[in-house]
Amino acid sequence: MTANNPIRIGIIGSGNIGNVHMEVLKMIPESQIAAVTDVYLPLAEARAKEHGIERVYDTTDKLLADDSIDAVIIAVSNEWHAPIAVKALQAGKHVMLEKPMAINLESAKQIVEAERKAGKVLMIPHQLRWESLSMQVKQQVEKGSLGHIYHAKAGWVRRKGIPGWGTWFTQMDKSGGGPLIDLGVHMLDLSLYLMGNPKPVSVYGATYAEFGPRKKGIGSWGAPNWNGHYDVEDLATALIKLDNGATLSLDVSWAALVDTDNQPYVQLLGSEGGASIRGTKGKLFAEIFDREADVDIAIPDLDEGPRVRMAKHFLACIESGIQPITSVMTGYTNNLILDAIYRSSQTGHEVELNWDI
């Protein structure tokens, strides 16, 4: 992989997140955006013109049939993640698949099976792992500075932030859920990673829809479709038990009448130290000679950014054949937990996780 022999990438989905990937890849000479497609062809054509992309395909199947393309980035609505990912792997492409990996657990299993058969790289772009603050905290965890992490608190609580009311975002059969699958998937992945990847064993959770069905709590992201409908939650809460005895609590919302700064957060509670990340601020907590000893951590001035690091990792995995740190099984883990939270909310009981796959 060099600038003279770049990895050729096709972008499936030219909307907001697809455009973010295009902007990032343009900054990495070892990659080349070879083709783009979208169900709305004029958007794909506009992106191609904007980013200097040589080929525009009017269908995903035509893009996947292009033998000159090494890898694809799938940036479409959740309901299409599994069908397109399976097709891409069967076509011999490496895949970066936007989160959540799948709309439900059954679709996630299909992706895992396809990845195992294909022997290709499949990476979930959980960009929070590549944030500078997250990397600094992870380094301290691996050094043992926090000791045994016995509990973590994570969340992303928005006061007024329901996206695209009435569009696929708020329809269960198209999105798979509300803030739990939209925001919670980020916080689950980051928390488990920072905790050292313990295995989740059971979940107790609840979901609520107090504002969305009444067309309240509407955010500024995405154009609403008032002729659509809303049948997902607007708040979810859960307690996840892990195989090492630790616990993880999660709170996420699109809309809630609560005092919040709308920032994602993770707090790690360890036997020897603690850590906190909230938005762009971080802190490490310790006690020395019976006195509090806290250290602020910050993002370096010349930081290249999480998405650039993430894209470089994807390219390196393709080049070397190694598993990405956000592998297909990290995506499956998230879907397994999400499924259990929704089932726990429906039944009112704790749900034990079944890892048979």
Q: Tokens 């009311």, residue?
A: 165
Summarize the confidence of residues 188-209 as an average pLDDT: 98
Give the pLDDT confidence score for residue 222 in this predicted structure. 86
Q: Which superfamily is assigned to 7-127 in CATH?
A: NAD(P)-binding Rossmann-like Domain (3.40.50.720)
CATH code for 129-306+335-352? 3.30.360.10
pLDDT tens-digit profile of 306-351? 999 999 999 999 999 999 999 999 999 999 999 999 999 999 999 9
Residue type at position 169? F
Say yes or no to pLDDT of 281 above 80.
yes
Mean pLDDT of the chain: 96
- For the record, the structure tokens of 126 come out as 């959980």
pTM: 0.94
Q: What percent of the chain has pLDDT over 90?
A: 95
Q: Is the pLDDT of residue 27 over 80?
A: yes
β-sheet with 122-123: strand ranges across:
55-57, 31-37, 7-12, 71-74, 94-97, 122-123
Q: Could you tell me the residue ranges of all domains in the chain?
A: 7-127, 129-306+335-352
Residue 221 banded pLDDT, cuts 50, 70, 90: confident
| Contact present, 103 and 176 (Cβ < 8 Å) | yes
Q: Are strands 235-242 and 247-253 parallel, antiparallel or unpaired?
A: antiparallel
Specify the DSSP element, H or E, that contains 317: helix 306-320
Total H helices, total E strands in the chain: 11, 15
Query: What band does 146 get if pLDDT is binned at 50, 70 and 90?
Result: very high
How far is Cα 356 from Cα 72, in angstroms, rounded to an integer? 29
> What confidence category does residue 1 fall into, taking pLDDT thresholds of 50, 70 and 90?
low
